[in-house]
Structure 1
Amino acid sequence: MAANRNQILPTPSGFDTTQFGGQSQPAQNQWMAMPSNVPGCPPGLEYLSQLDQLLVHQQVELFEALTSVETKNKYAIKNGAGQQCYYAYEESDLCMRICCKSNRGFMMHIVDNAGQEVIRLNRPFKCCAGCCWCANSDGCAFTIDVEAPVGTVIGQIRQSQSFWKPHYDIIDDMGKTIFKIKGPCCVCQGICCSCEFPFDIYPGDYTQAPVGKIAKQWSGFAKEMFTNATNFSVQFPVDLSVKMKAVLLGATFLIDFMFFEHQNE
């Protein structure tokens, strides 16, 4: 389970910790410059003010690929030009990763290029969640709460009831549904499935065409067949509030865990 928010955060292994405030970061990446003078923006979300797309690349874990034992996920988050703006790493309990696998509860820490935690995602463990038919019940719907800065909830991603296609509600800090996400009717992985899997983002009242999408992209034969590591793109309006962009980024992790994390299961 996710640990107490006051404890010292673990440092992911395999990354250079000599810079960025002691937080682990890939050492050779090109970094996006931090925009300045963004009024009303939570600290660390300034990057999002200029972006209409994010690329989320999960890091390959060799131990997990060889043993099928779940390890803590790590992700590089980049802009459309490939410059890194954030790094995300999971905090979860070993027993829960082994026993519950992709259904586990977790806390995802998202840090900026200075190593400061700017977004925190919290998915509580729910033993009966996941079925789209029953997702109208709180106990049967997966959720992620989004905090930015840490301790201030700015929104929630909630699985919603549907007959077959995966549906999600994107809710703001006032409890209002701002967007709805509709996924594809079939999410199949394998050698013959090299196309992307789009999860379209609609306004909350469905009165307009999609305004963006979250898409799982083909990562190459070896990565798809032998690891859980995934690549996503997240597209949204450039003038959307930075808080809603952060919540849509959080939706990417919920989609990943629900549909693409169980390759080795």
Structure 2
Amino acid sequence: FPLESMKTLPLTLMGILSGPPCTDRFNAESSFCLRQFYLILGTETCSKYEIKNHLGQRVYFAMEENGCFDRNFCSPIRSFTIRITDNTGREVITVNRPLRCNSCWFPCYMQELEVQSPPGTIVGYVVQNWDPLLPKFTILNESKEDVLKIIGPYATCSCFGDVDFEVKTLNEMSTIGKISKYWSGFVNNVFTNAANFGIQVPVDLDVKIKAIMIGACFLIVSTQNQREKPSQAR
């Protein structure tokens, strides 16, 4: 667009042109709900999710891509690519997680993932931090500079209640948001692999960081499956 034309564009469209393609959805949002489509225990298929805004409207659809070997022999530490598309089918966020085998006693290869928006442009990373008691993660920007911390509780099994992972400042003194794993009922929790998560962050948080928070949610999903269902990893 010529410079004169850009001055007359709607603000939402100018945001799309100047920032990540998710800008129009993230700018005015402070909370999202991530719902995984139901998977029966004992089966390993590519996960699918829908991402809703605070009104319950679906704004994104996410689908995991990986190989059959990874799903059946490396789950839940498998590598994957998650492609997040809007309601028109346009891919707006790509989440890449490499295969990294790790042990709580030998934390040389802690889990991490990369977030791109638009696909091909890195906006940040999520890195798992070693801690003997608490699940901890760090949000990094595209320059791999620490931005925020995510700290979960000692007990992360959502037995009859929600589990909150607090989003904190780097000094861990202030809480600015949270990622919650929702309790979805006895039948769903016992007989399926499905997960329901919520993200709450300040409405004025950088849209790139909001996109990275979506990636953090996927990493928490996979690491919690590793903690709660170790027998499924073959």
Distance 1:176 1:233 in 2: 25
Asked if 1:252 corresponds to 2:221, the answer is no
Contact 1:56 1:76 survives alignment (8 Å): yes
* Aligned residue in 2 for 1:51: 29
Distance 1:154 1:53 in 2: 20
Asked if 1:227 corresponds to 2:205, the answer is no
Matched residue SS, 2:20: coil
Question: After the TM superposition, which residues 1-265 of structure 1 pair with which residues of structure 2 at under 5 Å, given as runs?
Answer: 35-38=12-15, 40-61=18-39, 65=40, 68-127=42-101, 129=102, 131=104, 134-135=106-107, 137=108, 140-189=109-158, 193-206=159-172, 208-260=173-225, 263=229, 265=232
For structure 2, the residue ranges without an aligned partner over 5 or more in a row are 1-11
Using the TM superposition, give the Cα deviation of residue 260 of structure 1 relative to its aligned residue in structure 2, in angstroms: 3.3
Question: Per the alignment, do residues 258 and 107 of structure 1 end up closer, same or farther by CA in structure 2, a change over 3 Å counting?
Answer: same
Q: Highest relative contact order (Cα 8 Å, sep 6+), 1 or 2?
A: 2
- Structure 1 runs of 4+ aligned residues shifted over 4 Å read 261-264
Using the TM superposition, give the Cα deviation of residue 134 of structure 1 relative to its aligned residue in structure 2, in angstroms: 4.3
Matched residue SS, 2:76: helix
Contact 2:110 2:128 survives alignment (8 Å): yes
Matched residue SS, 1:219: coil
- CA deviations on 1:127-183 (whole Å, 9 max, x unpaired) are 2x252x644x3xx21001000011111100000121210110100011110000101
Contact 1:134 1:161 survives alignment (8 Å): no
Distance 1:246 1:134 in 2: 30
Using the TM superposition, give the Cα deviation of residue 235 of structure 1 relative to its aligned residue in structure 2, in angstroms: 0.6
- The one-letter code sitting in structure 2 at the alignment partner of 1:200 is E
Distance 2:156 2:129 in 1: 17
Using the TM superposition, give the Cα deviation of residue 105 of structure 1 relative to its aligned residue in structure 2, in angstroms: 0.5
Using the TM superposition, give the Cα deviation of residue 59 of structure 1 relative to its aligned residue in structure 2, in angstroms: 0.4
Using the TM superposition, give the Cα deviation of residue 38 of structure 1 relative to its aligned residue in structure 2, in angstroms: 2.3
Matched residue SS, 1:237: coil
For the aligned residue pairs, the C-alpha RMSD in angstroms reads 1.8
Distance 2:70 2:14 in 1: 42
- The alignment covers a number of residue pairs equal to 219
Query: Normalized against structure 2, the TM-score is what?
Result: 0.88
Matched residue SS, 2:137: strand
Identity %: 35
Distance 2:143 2:131 in 1: 24
Contact 1:109 1:120 survives alignment (8 Å): yes
